[in-house]
Amino acid sequence: MKLFLDTADMSQIREAIRWGIVDGVTTNPALVSRTGRPAEELYAEICATVPGPVSLECVSMDADGIVAEARRLAAISGNAVIKVPAMREGLVAVKRLAEEGIKTNVTLICSTMQAFLAAKVGATYVSPFVGRLDLMGQEGMETIRQIKTIYDNYRFTTEIIVASARHPKHVLESALAGAHICTIPIDVMELLYQHPMTDVGIQQFLAAWAKVPQERKPAPVAPATGA
Ligand code: G3P
């Protein structure tokens, strides 16, 4: 399963790329707003930095407007993927964008049927929002399992990005469900490395190592006199 970083923050992106586990980045209008930067200048910097797909979200609400906005965003970089909300006008636009070869990520997916329709119109990715579904009392991961089953049944090539992930268990369950990608904020990514028993073990080993006698330094070799 691929891991995407869910952020528009350049320092987080650079740091997580250094960790070697980031396959792509997803942004959304709320994440961009937090940076205080103009969107398209920021998008160009993110796309130039990330060695993988970068999702950039449309804010137009009608199909013609979405297509025009998507074309402009797609022109920013070859790795740009255009996020389109899972509404009827959005899916009309996704079909047209697919015909033009522009990659799309249908976002704010809250039901299995929305994901089914997105695949039918040729979406490259779908982003079901598991954390927000859990908050509503809907089982977010069950929606992921249903989408995976339907995509497998009909050999859809649309990839599932598990989005709105809140904790490492969402990442674990995404992988067990066979999701293609899970996108996570950097704090969840940091938690994936951690276990208290690992920290205890490291401290035990360091304490033991401090008691190991130091090696004797070899005696310095006298310089040759040439005699
Ligand atoms: O970027 C899409 C999604 O992951 C946002 O999640 O935390 O706003 O529910 P969240």
What ligand 1 atom has the least distance to the C-alpha of 28?
A: 1
Among the listed residues 83, 120, 148, 169, the single catalytic one is: 83
Along the chain (227 residues), what's the average pLDDT of each consecutive run of 10 residues?
A: 98 98 98 98 98 98 98 98 98 98 98 98 98 97 98 98 98 98 98 98 97 84 69
Q: Could you give the CA distance from residue 142 to residue 140 in angstroms, rounded to a whole number?
A: 5
- pLDDT score for 135: 96
Reading the block at residue 220, the tokens are: 């310095």
| Lookup result for tokens 């090696």 | 215
Q: Could you give the CA distance from residue 94 to residue 107 in angstroms, rounded to a whole number?
A: 11
Q: Is 83 a catalytic residue?
A: yes
Task: Supply the DSSP string of 178-222, one letter for each residue.
Answer: T-SEEEE-HHHHHHHT--HHHHHHHHHHHHHHHTSPPPPPPPPPP
User: H/E element holding 84?
Assistant: strand 80-85
- pLDDT score for 31: 98
| 76 touches 101 (CB < 8 A) | no
- pLDDT score for 13: 98
What ligand 1 atom has the least distance to the C-alpha of 27?
A: 1
| Lookup result for tokens 């360091």 | 206
CATH 3.20.20.70 is right for the domain spanning 2-209: yes
- pLDDT score for 219: 79
Give the SS3 label for residue 82: strand
- pLDDT score for 160: 98
Q: Could you give the CA distance from residue 174 to residue 130 in angstroms, rounded to a whole number?
A: 10
Q: Could you give the CA distance from residue 186 to residue 189 in angstroms, rounded to a whole number?
A: 5
* pTM of the model as a whole: 0.92
| 44 touches 61 (CB < 8 A) | no
Q: Is residue 105 lining ligand 1, measured as CB closer than 6 Å?
A: no
From 130, 164, 188, 189, mutation site for ligand 1 pocket: most ligand atoms within 8 A of C-beta: 164
- pLDDT score for 218: 73
CA angle, residues 114, 56, 112, in degrees to nearest 5: 10
- Phi and psi torsions of 82, nearest 5°: -100, 120
CA angle, residues 62, 68, 184, in degrees to nearest 5: 80
Q: Could you give the CA distance from residue 209 to residue 80 in angstroms, rounded to a whole number?
A: 49
Q: Could you give the CA distance from residue 164 to residue 109 in angstroms, rounded to a whole number?
A: 10
Angle between helix 63-74 and helix 88-99 axes, rounded to 10 deg: 50
- pLDDT score for 127: 98
Indicate the length of the chain as a whole number.
Answer: 227
- pLDDT score for 110: 98
For the chain, how many helices (H) and strands (E)?
11, 8
- pLDDT score for 213: 93
Measured in Å, residue 7 CA sits from the centre of ligand 1 at 9
Q: Is residue 65 lining ligand 1, measured as CB closer than 6 Å?
A: no
